[in-house]
Amino acid sequence: MDDLNQLQEQIKLELIAARDPEALEQWRIKYLGRKGLMNNLFRGLGSMLVEDRAARGKALNQFRQMVQEAFEERQQALKEAQLQAELAAEGVDVTLPGRRPQLGHIHPISRTLRDIYRVFSNMGFQIYTARDVETDEVNFQLLNFPKGHPAREMQDTFHTTVPDILLRTHTSPGQIRAMRDYHPEPIRVILPGKCYRYEQVTARSEMMFYQVEGLAVGRHITFADLKGTLVAFANQLFGEGRKLRFRCSHFPFTEPSAEVDIDCISCGGKGCRLCKYTGWLEILGCGMVHPNVLRNGGYDPDIYSGYAFGMGPERIAMLLHNVDDIRYFYANDARFLPQFA
Ligand code: PHE
């Protein structure tokens, strides 16, 4: 059987020399094909002496199996090499770790809104939502801003192409809507929503922003109720022990009116950059609902009284998280928002 041993050497050398699928196919035809060497060897059995035939047949079978296995192994190796080459050509590094999907989270303003809702709902306030697109009448006139009133100047307005239809400049028109809806029942609601002002966008003012309005209407509601409610609110939202300062102010739809400051949450009132060294931070405007406004909402001011307040959640979020530019909230900057995850 020396011939088989010699052949084995030759066959293996040629197999290694086959470096691509075409060369391998040539090799296969030569050795394992129908008219190939292997079949020739088997055909030789026919002319052998019967005594020798069994031993030769067994040797040939083993030989053929060995050659077949060597072929398959080579075929597999070539396939893998080709795959590697293709991946390398594509520039895909299969050892790179996968990308982690980014998980979303609640926007800091939504979170602040929810915090505000929680505090007021604990005090028995309901949430009432009014429309973003308002009439001049409800946004201004029924709130004591007649046409041409100078206080309109403080709320530069986005008008629409429809006369007297505008984007609300504050949530206060919701007071009228809520009163007309609830009348003659007593009211205790907060009115959250977006407001729009045709203003230069700066670090302190966006042209779209939220407000949360508060409104209570009933018999015997006094300024003391307003103060107590706002003190309780500030202590729950900003932490216990907050001091509030009510400064006399003016809004056409409340009388008397005040702006409310809390003692600076950063320095506690000593004076720092956040409070501009005043020790105080302004957080909202408020007052007793003006008799005209009560009347416009359907409530008789001789029987009913009420208070209202309005705050800016963006401003509150800026104070709570030490953010110094309101524009970050709506710029969708992936370096900013994930800090609130
Ligand atoms: N609407 C007022 C504003 O936009 C805020 C406010 C609301 C003041 C309710 C008093 C009462 O500035």
Q: Which of 233, 251, 316 to mutate to test the pocket of ligand 1 (most atoms within 8 A of CB)?
A: 251
pLDDT in tens, 255-296: 999 999 999 988 888 999 888 999 999 999 999 999 999 999
Beta bridge partners of 284: 260, 311
- Measure the CA angle with vertex 48, ends 42 and 52; round to 5°: 95
Kindly give the number of the ligand 1 atom that is closest to the alpha carbon of 257: 10
Pocket of ligand 1 contains residue 282 by CB under 6 Å = no
Distance 171 CA to ligand 1 centre (A): 8
Percent of the chain whose pLDDT exceeds 90: 74
Predicted local confidence at residue 1, as pLDDT: 65
Distance 273 CA to ligand 1 centre (A): 26
Taking CA atoms only, the protein residue closest to ligand 1 atom 4 is 170
* Distance between CA atoms of residues 227 and 224, nearest Å: 5
Distance 168 CA to ligand 1 centre (A): 12
Q: Which CA distances in Å does 213 have to 160, 249, 276, 280, 285?
A: 24, 17, 26, 22, 10
Distance 308 CA to ligand 1 centre (A): 8
The alpha helices in the chain, defined as continuous H runs, are 2-17, 21-32, 37-44, 50-90, 108-122, 136-139, 173-182, 223-238, 291-296, 313-321
Distance 131 CA to ligand 1 centre (A): 16
* Distance between CA atoms of residues 21 and 85, nearest Å: 14
Kindly give the number of the ligand 1 atom that is closest to the alpha carbon of 154: 12
Kindly give the number of the ligand 1 atom that is closest to the alpha carbon of 211: 4
- Burial status of residue 190 (CB atoms within 10 A of its CB: 0-12, 13-18, 19 or more): buried
Distance 267 CA to ligand 1 centre (A): 27
Predicted local confidence at residue 49, as pLDDT: 85
* Distance between CA atoms of residues 231 and 245, nearest Å: 10
pLDDT of 189 above 90? yes
* Distance between CA atoms of residues 72 and 68, nearest Å: 6
Pocket of ligand 1 contains residue 168 by CB under 6 Å = no
pLDDT in tens, 95-132: 889 888 988 899 999 999 999 999 999 999 999 999 99
Answer whether 144's CB lies under 8 Å from 290's CB: yes
**Cα 230 off chain centre by:** 31
Predicted local confidence at residue 86, as pLDDT: 86
Pocket of ligand 1 contains residue 252 by CB under 6 Å = no
Distance 297 CA to ligand 1 centre (A): 17
pLDDT in tens, 73-98: 999 999 999 888 888 888 877 888 98
pLDDT in tens, 137-152: 999 999 999 999 999 9
What DSSP designation does 159 have?
B
* Distance between CA atoms of residues 257 and 223, nearest Å: 10
Predicted local confidence at residue 54, as pLDDT: 87
Pocket of ligand 1 contains residue 308 by CB under 6 Å = yes
Q: What is the band of 7 on the pLDDT scale with cuts at 50, 70, 90?
A: confident
* Distance between CA atoms of residues 161 and 315, nearest Å: 31
Whole-model pTM above 0.75? no
| Token digits of residue 292 | 């005209």
Pocket of ligand 1 contains residue 145 by CB under 6 Å = no
Kindly give the number of the ligand 1 atom that is closest to the alpha carbon of 155: 4
